[in-house]
Structure 1
């Protein structure tokens, strides 16, 4: 798909593929800035100190991402809080997580990323997820597939949940008590039905692994757009199935999320629904 950008002198046609390339360049630059800040564990003794350290990382990346992405799509909205959920108003929106897995970064753990997703009328149309510690970049363009550094991705062909590696994550540190209990019971259920259960943050890195065929399913209760939209597009474009935890079509308003290889999706729904 192509979009039209008006300039002072002429009308320029910008394809979504060109937007994807520009988004990747911006995300790479932001990732490099965050990598320069990575190293020793960042100490904090209070919640305020923790929030200040998280914000410093976010601000470092956003100083690069926001002007670069806004120049490409000046009329697109901007999601201010990466923990927000629910539907967006009509039109184009940038959904960005400047430091996905920010708490890992502060603890000198390498599992973090920078993500940017363009959403059009509540449908993700392109996404970039860059892992600065490995140099890997995952991209997806609606209708054009998912890729890792230009190589096509495909979900696993597993057909038995009992032979599957599955994963989950927590959406927020201060999650609703009912959601926390549901997460706990779902992990217990999967420990009985799947081969291996992985539990860690951030969600996006698990979803990259589903898209790449390394693990077979990921689920989460509650969640934010920035957590789930990039991975949802990557998994869908890699041939996976996206639904809520009961197998219904997923939207950002859904209470649960499931991304799985087609061969184990129904079995995962059955486990989570029980």
Structure 2
């Protein structure tokens, strides 16, 4: 018997791989890209973002034309199936355009209001993170687990920020984290940092506000890898506060961040 979510996850993996290859070609020719801003000089988009999202949308439309799509660049298209694909074609556009390797393609599948599967493709590192609700999380097919025994004082804690972040709050969180014996980390891609928590590379992640395309896939990975996560409030497009950690960090980071 066909498994509709498994079929979509398999497609998401293929599309993420194809999208990653296209994005990597743009990455190697990034000096030729025209850059636009979206209301703030730090909120930028390039032709690469738009082309990668278009590739993913075409693939979804050909295989599952009744599914809805919510993409960072081209917004929402309605569907009838009850399944929504949430797309970030290039999460980490700033590092991408700066020639840094910390960017990825992120796809999440949402059934109703529940994230049921996710894929994060990291083209420069040639890695693919995947997760399915109730089934587990994997890095290139090998099971992922959050870091065992991780605490605030023995692991890296990632702190996300954007033009929407209050600078004073971010400074307070980083300062209190360091005063508690922790070290903070940031690479410019929230999706990739969340996947790194799931893989046990980071102990935790906190950001005051994330869009759903930035975080849904990674949050599911952390949960399926044995970690703890906040829950985004509705509606889907609104996003919200995100915290995701190995169990041993949760209480300390929640206290520091005021969660």
TM-score by length of 2: 0.86
Gaps of 5+ in 1: 3-12, 244-248
Q: Deviation of residue 155 (structure 1)?
A: 0.3
Gaps of 5+ in 2: none
2:205 to 202, 208, 218: 218
Q: Residue 220 of structure 1: SS of its match in structure 2?
A: strand
Q: Residue 86 of structure 2: SS of its match in structure 1?
A: strand
1:64 to 46, 55, 59: 55
Q: Quote the Cα distance in structure 2 between the aligned partners of 1:116 and 1:54.
A: 18
Given that 1:242 and 1:250 are in contact with CA atoms closer than 8 Å, whether structure 2 keeps it comes out as no
User: Is residue 140 of structure 2 the alignment partner of residue 140 of structure 1?
Assistant: no
> CA distance change for structure 1 residues 75 and 45 in 2, over 3 Å: closer, same or farther?
closer
Q: Deviation of residue 83 (structure 1)?
A: 10
Given that 2:227 and 2:247 are in contact with CA atoms closer than 8 Å, whether structure 1 keeps it comes out as yes
1:155 to 143, 146, 151: 146
- Within 5 Å, give how 1:70-219 maps onto structure 2: 70-81=61-72, 91-170=82-161, 172=162, 174-175=163-164, 179-219=166-206
Report what 1:16 is aligned to.
5
Given that 2:106 and 2:214 are in contact with CA atoms closer than 8 Å, whether structure 1 keeps it comes out as no
Q: Quote the Cα distance in structure 2 between the aligned partners of 1:254 and 1:137.
A: 24
Answer with 49-58 or 140-149: which moved more.
Answer: 49-58
Q: Quote the Cα distance in structure 1 between the aligned partners of 2:100 and 2:115.
A: 29
Deviation per residue, 1:33-60 (Å, 9 max, x gap): 1111113663899865989982301122
Deviation per residue, 1:70-97 (Å, 9 max, x gap): 233322212143698xxxx993211100
Report what 1:8 is aligned to.
none
1:270 to 250, 255, 259: 255
Report what 2:233 is aligned to.
251
Report what 2:217 is aligned to.
230
Given that 2:153 and 2:180 are in contact with CA atoms closer than 8 Å, whether structure 1 keeps it comes out as yes
Given that 2:145 and 2:198 are in contact with CA atoms closer than 8 Å, whether structure 1 keeps it comes out as yes
> CA distance change for structure 1 residues 116 and 163 in 2, over 3 Å: closer, same or farther?
same
Report what 1:261 is aligned to.
246
* The structure with more radius of gyration: 1
> CA distance change for structure 1 residues 82 and 226 in 2, over 3 Å: closer, same or farther?
farther
> CA distance change for structure 1 residues 81 and 44 in 2, over 3 Å: closer, same or farther?
closer
